[in-house]
Structure 1
């Protein structure tokens, strides 16, 4: 296939994607924006950060935010991939152009992990990782599914357990292994 034909195919695909995104924004503006689900998403985006800000150990703020940023990047990347490969999708987005659920990726995942990490920091990390993985996979995901926000089209909650477990262990490793920050107490 020649270069011009490839360019035409790519451009045609981009036009289709732009049309779908434009339609998604119209639906969001007309039906989702300022709905109860939208306000729930805004609250889930803001309130956990306020709680974390109040209860965080001030001496470990930088270290915990570093870990939180890593969790955000991983969560958002995984959500984009899951959406693009039709494993799941989200409804009632806070921001319409992202295929992820902002409250989950930028707040609930990182803040929950940061809070759990700072509670009894010397306790068994594998137990904490397992509890986090089980609660997020078998309680949080089903609640969002029941609410209609999350649609696990080709995904089972069980698939998330190992991912959440490893994510927590990676976050713990980053928290405890970095020498540029003061150790968590």
Structure 2
């Protein structure tokens, strides 16, 4: 079947995708040689697994579904924003657990969601705005500098202070989602 797109457009897009595919293959080869099973791989893997194990042990079991709902929001939004930052050349990562995903899996999939879920369940009457400041402050001025120091996070066209308001908004939305009373049945 012949596409309705022009042949010129298809060829132009194909050329760009071939370049992206070649770059991805080069990165995968570099990752296999310099990261896979090296210290940075194992440290990143532990940054992925340990927060989840912590959360499983210390979560409020009767609130698990509510917390997971909020944590999944953090996971999705953090991954999406991280993906955009990498795609637009604002930063990049080394020491990745999974080479084919542009974002840093431990940060987006584990550390941030677990941090938010933990804050939500601790002192539930404390101001969500205060908790958002704690989340943003620790993430921006403790977490990110540690990952910069490790060389896992390399900023190109970004300043660490730009992250602070984004973390505040992420926490506040996740907190709000944790307060949803119920869902309508699917019947």
SS at match of 1:96: coil
When normalised by structure 2's length, the TM-score is 0.94
Does 2:67 align with 1:64? yes
Q: Does 1:42 align with 2:45?
A: yes
Determine the C-alpha separation between the residues in 2 that align with 1:101 and 1:127: 27
Please, which of 22, 25, 28 is the counterpart of residue 25 of structure 1? 28
1:116 paired residue number = 119
Match of 1:146 in 2: 149
1:79 Cα shift?
0.5
The runs of 5 or more residues in structure 1 that have no matched partner are none
Question: Offset of 1:124 from its aligned partner?
Answer: 1.1
2:84 counterpart of 1:84: no
Offset of residue 25 of structure 1: 0.7
Task: Give the drift of 1:59.
Answer: 0.4
- Residues 33-91 of structure 1, C-alpha deviations (whole Å, 9 max, x = no match): 00110000110110110010000001000111111111100010001000011111111
Runs of 4+ more than 3 Å apart: none
CA distance in 1, matches of 2:120, 2:27: 37
Q: Structure 1 residues 31 and 61 mapped into 2: Cα distance closer, same or farther (>3 Å)?
A: same
C-alpha offsets along residues 106-135 of structure 1, whole Å, 9 cap, x if unaligned? 000100100111100111111110111011
Is 1:128–2:134 an aligned residue pair?
Answer: no
1:10 and 2:13 matched: yes
Counterpart secondary structure, 2:20:
helix
Name the SS for the 1:151 alignment partner: strand
Structure 1 match to 2:175:
172
Q: Does 1:137 align with 2:140?
A: yes
TM-score (norm 1): 0.95
Question: Once the 2 structures are TM-superposed, how far is the Cα of residue 179 of structure 1 from its aligned partner?
Answer: 2.1
